[in-house]
A and B are shown apart, each in its own frame.
Chain A
Amino acid sequence: MATQLEDQRVIEFDVRTDEMLINMGPQHPSTHGVLRLLLRTDGEIVYEVTPHLGYLHRCAEKIGENLTGPQWLPYTDRMDYLAAMNMNLGMSLTYEKLIGMEVPEKAMNVRLIIAELGRIASHLVGMGAYGLDLGSFSPFLYAFREREIILDLFEEACGARLTYSYLTIGGATHDLPGMIEIPPGLAALTGNDPKMKMQWTDAVLMFLDWLEKRIREYHILLTRNSIFIKRTAALGVMSGEMAIDYGCTGPVLRGSGVDFDLRRDGDPIYTRMYEGYDFDVISAPFEGVAGIPKDVILGDNWCRFFVRMLEVIEAIKLVRQGIEKYPTTEGDFRVPYKMNSKLPADEVYLETECPRGQMGFYIVGDGQAEPMRARAKSSCFCNLSVTAPLCEGVLLGDIPSIVGSLDIVMGEIDR
């Protein structure tokens, strides 16, 4: 009796795989917080992805309805906690537009310097954490070393390291600091005396000079690394129309080849801040940039990542120009705003360009000091909604690569 079939392939054809439901998260390291993805897989192929949110829901909107503007401000810090300064700015501008307040030139200058430094810090984490998702540990350590100095500088400005509440309605709580002791991290990296005293603005410039040289290293470690390219290029491809249809904004939208940035195309109350500053809006396919890997397709993971890398350089340019203008700006760093000022019976929806996309605040007033509706439209919420179509039919191991390229923060999604 034959112990095996004559043609082995017959058995091969008879093999069936089972459909499996796999739960990824909410404590999975590459879901960037508490996101739970329910995957329906057949072997290594993922057929369906269902995101489940809400693990970090803290009723921020309900709280906002019961508090006045300045009281709600600290809650916006806790939305996107990696770019809290930009959250503060968006919410303050919305209230200012509602009550018709105009901030002086100096306040706008301070806001620009701080907001762009916040953008650098946020993109550094985005870059480092993305490398971590794909199994490359060292860029993460470098990114946090650099971010540490920005946090030190923010600490000198407002006393906090993560939740600042610094940019408030009417301007900022304090002016930029004067003489400070050099941040310990910066002293160690640049080889200066740790007891050295210097102007805060000079410390920022010293840091930027140092950071600019390091960006080449990140490109060697990640951007042009062939393993990194293999894991990101031609994966998670999204067309510009699809990105707009799903409400994607920020680097996700620009990575898909849509040339749109609220710092240039937004509401006048926001673009006024950036008037007279020279900066480029980065969008795929990166015309004039040499050395784009040939596997890259417009709108893939690599493009979204590269947009962030180039935006850091633009942010450095903006901070330099801001600091150059700082001594000559006129006016005060803030206009006083009373805690219990009554809001008019009107409503405003305003979006600002945060590092992760367009964060919108919608405030409806009814004559009381507390708004009747305080809505925070999250950019990551919209960016995450595109996960399900992007992850259809990819390999299980590519899910962290696609979700990581969207650079989400769950605190902002769940609010």
Chain B
Amino acid sequence: MTSQEIFDSLTEKFGSDIILALNAEACDPWIEVAPASIVDVSAFLKSEESLKFDMLCDLSGVDYLEPDAKRAKKFPYEPHLEVVYHLFSVSIKHKITIKVKLPRWKNDEEGSLPDVPSVAQVWKIADWHEREAFDLVGINFTGHPNLLRILCPDDWEGHGLRKDYEFPLEYHGVRG
């Protein structure tokens, strides 16, 4: 199915309040979904006979921010976070990208991570991918069974792939 057909069948099921936008011109066409409904949309994408997106290829967080003031003038995006789900159907062999847009900080309070519902119940592999996105990008996946850091140590501070992340000067007395 093309991205337009997938978008149409999603809009028919959930309405345009939940399925927000389609970008069919992008290199990989993507559909934007409202964060609160991502679990319902994912379950539908996986179970619907004509879609059958049974494989979650990748789940990653992207931080849209340009910390450099000079470059920020040319930066084409508003500062925000995105969670990107790359889906593929092994049986039908089609693919789609689903995006969820989040604020960089919850309620604009620096240090409080934005929430998005976890899809670990839909695809098992999302468990680890979400742990990695939490660890490195700083996204709080609500309803996740075991949301701990996976690559960095448990007592690490900050989230490395945030654009405004400051490298620690030392860790447990070891200078960097």
Interface residues of A (CB under 8 A from B): 53-54, 57, 59, 61-62, 65, 97-98, 241, 244-247, 258, 260, 265, 345-349, 351, 358, 360, 362, 364, 366-368, 372-373, 375, 377, 381-382, 385, 414-415
Contacts and interface: CB of A to CB of B under 8 A. Distances in A.
A245 B128 CA distance: 12
Contacts of A65: 161
Interface of B (DSSP majority class): loop
Contact of A364 (B62, B86, B93, B151): B62
Contacts of A347: 26-28
Nearest to A382: B125
Nearest to A258: B90
Contacts of B62: 364, 372-373
Interface of B: 26-28, 54-58, 60, 62-64, 66, 71, 74-77, 84, 86, 90, 93, 97, 123-125, 127-128, 132, 136, 149-153, 160-161
B86 A366 contact: no
A144 B57 CA distance: 33
Nearest to B89: A244
A156 B89 CA distance: 41
B27 A260 contact: no
9 cross-chain pairs, A with B, having the tightest CB-CB distances, nearest first: A247-B125, A54-B151, A377-B58, A57-B151, A373-B62, A385-B128, A245-B124, A375-B60, A348-B27
B128 to A, nearest CB: 5
A59 B56 CA distance: 23
Contact of B124 (A97, A246, A362): A246
Contacts of B160: 59, 62
Contacts of B150: 53-54
A382 B71 contact: no
A123 B66 CA distance: 42
Among A247, A362, A414, chain B packs the most CB atoms within 10 A around the CB of A247
Contacts of B57: 247, 349, 351, 358, 360, 377
A258 B54 CA distance: 13
Contacts of B27: 97-98, 346-348
A247 B56 contact: yes
Find the residue from B57, B58, B62 having the highest chain A CB count within 10 A.
B58
A381 B125 CA distance: 10
Contact of A360 (B58, B127, B152): B58
B74 A375 contact: no
A366 B76 CA distance: 7
Contacts of A377: 57-58, 60
B55 A349 contact: no
Contacts of A367: 74-76
B128 A381 contact: yes
A388 to B, nearest CB: 10
Contacts of A241: 54
